[in-house]
Each structure stands twice: as structure tokens, then as C-alpha cells.
Amino acid sequence: MTIKKIAQENRVSPTDIYENIKTIAAQKDAAQSEEPGKVKASGSGQGLGYGKMTLAEVCQNNSIPIDRALNNLSIKGIKAKPEDKLRKLAGDHETTPLDLVELIKHGG
């Protein structure tokens, strides 16, 4: 799969995907060079753009039936509507948009 294809599927630019890959690689290198046993905070604040998407958009991009996504969220006590932005849902439930996408995809 190409960066261009990944970008199209996630409705972000290829540059955003490349920058995220570069950031993750730099974080990995930095973490490996630190003292053993020392915990390093992760996260650059730059994700894959899921926070800007609605639940319906995430479902459409990942070929997930909206009813299944709503059910997976409901099981975890998250009441959502198709038009809800993932960033707001995540903030309301002390999680991340990426964690919500994983829950939507795989249930919990």
C-alpha cells in the first residue's frame, strides 16, 4: 500500500502521513537511546486525522456498518451519533480518537 493510498483512505494529505511516519520513527529512535527503565512520554499530538472525522466518516472509510460501530461504543457506555466528531467523543470519555477507532473496528 502506498502513502498516497493510505492518505486517500484516511482523508489526509500524503505529507501528513509522511510527517507522522517520520515523527514516530524519531520517537522510537529517541526512546531506544534513553536510559533503560526510564519511562518516556509518547505522543506528538499529531494523529492520523481521525479526530476531525465524524463517526459516520470513520465507518465509511473502514467499511464498518454504522450500527455495529454504535453498538460497540454503546457496550462501553459511549452514547454516540453518526455525526459526532471523534475528537469530541474521545474527550468526553477520556480516551483518544485512535482508541475509539479500534473499539469501533474490533469491539471491546
Nearest to 64 by CA among 19, 13, 9, 12: 9
The boundaries of the domain holding residue 84 are 47-108
Q: Are 28 and 60 in contact (CB under 8 A)?
A: no
Together in a domain, 33 and 52: no
Average pLDDT over residues 61-70: 93
Together in a domain, 3 and 51: no
pLDDT tens digits for range 21-62? 877 877 776 666 554 444 334 445 556 788 899 999 999 998
Q: How many domains would you assign to the chain? A: 2
Together in a domain, 7 and 52: no
CA distances from 95 to 3, 56, 92, 107 (A): 27, 19, 8, 15
Predicted local confidence at residue 81, as pLDDT: 96
Predicted local confidence at residue 39, as pLDDT: 39
Together in a domain, 53 and 102: yes
Query: How many other C-beta atoms can be found within 10 angstroms of the C-beta atom of residue 50?
Result: 23
Q: How confident is the model at residue 86 (pLDDT cuts 50, 70, 90)?
A: very high
Taking the whole predicted model, whether its pTM rises above 0.85 is answered as no
79 CB contacts (<8 Å, ≥6 apart)? 73
